[in-house]
Amino acid sequence: MGNQETIVIKCGGSIMNELSDSFFQSLSFLADQGYRLAIVHGGGPDIAALLKRLNIQSEFVNGLRKTSAEVLDVVKMVLAGKVNKQLVTSLQTYGLNSVGLSGCDGMLLETKAINYEELGYVGEVVDVNDQLLNHLMDGGYVPVISSIGVNKEGESFNINADLAAGAVAQALGAKQLLFVTDVQGILKDDELLPEVTPADVEQLMKSGVIYGGMIPKVQAAIKALSPSLHQVQIVSGKASFMTENGEWIGTTIKYGKEETEGSADELLISNIPTI
């Protein structure tokens, strides 16, 4: 089956070193079905480990890593270097021709500072070079994007990977956005919930069904929803997220009627940690 629909995959830093053979096989399956794939990744644990090794202090402000010029150097080394190239190499092992990029390449992720005084070099995406990404995907490549951005003055920024993925998905008019985590999706009484709305998620958080580390994951997924991106899925990076029949294994969060009054810009505001 051939099609030109795009799927954006966001891999958080916490799962990057645990991606399984089955996960990569699921990506290969999607590519074989004719989907165009683009991947956005973070690398929080690796950044934290190198900062500790170099004895560089770092703190979080309102859930975002305060990024000094010194911290930014480490962020760029880890994200655009180690993590990006490891992921590109893994994808190519599974027959997925991949190109590693940062948001600085070709002004891929044009960025502005959120608040220099409070956060330093932490930014938000104001424009995506979708022409570059479409050119690569049309040529049969999978763009693998590290969540670093740049402004027109040449300053680099650390970007929340969840928000970067949402911006890329919206710019590409993606059919779906996958948030890859260490669990299959939202579980209730040990049963996977295949589909929920943001209103359902709110109730599940209030009742304690969604708790701990799953809370920021579902909040990030909901923030990515917009009038042009109607569904986001939470899937596992430790196992296959597709059945042999091509059915999804995970939780789909669907854009509901209650969200239609919000704009895409409003829905891209997040307090999820920069990863």
What are 140's two structure tokens? 């049969």
| 36 marked as part of a ligand binding site | no
| 158 marked as part of a ligand binding site | yes
221 CB-near residues (< 8 Å, 6+ apart): 177, 179, 232, 233, 234, 253
Contact (Cβ atoms closer than 8 angstroms) between residue 220 and residue 161 = no
Supply the residues annotated as catalytic. Answer: 10, 13, 44, 162, 217
Please give the C-alpha separations between residue 216 and each of 53, 78, 237, in angstroms, as whole numbers: 27, 23, 17
Contact (Cβ atoms closer than 8 angstroms) between residue 30 and residue 8 = no
Question: From CA 254, how far away is CA 221, in angstroms rounded?
Answer: 10
Pinpoint the alpha helices (H) of the chain: 21-32, 44-53, 69-76, 84-93, 116-119, 130-138, 161-171, 198-206, 214-224, 264-267
Question: From CA 244, how far away is CA 82, in angstroms rounded?
Answer: 33
Which residues sit in the known binding site?
Answer: 43-44, 65, 158
Which residues sit in the known binding site for substrate?
Answer: 43-44, 65, 158
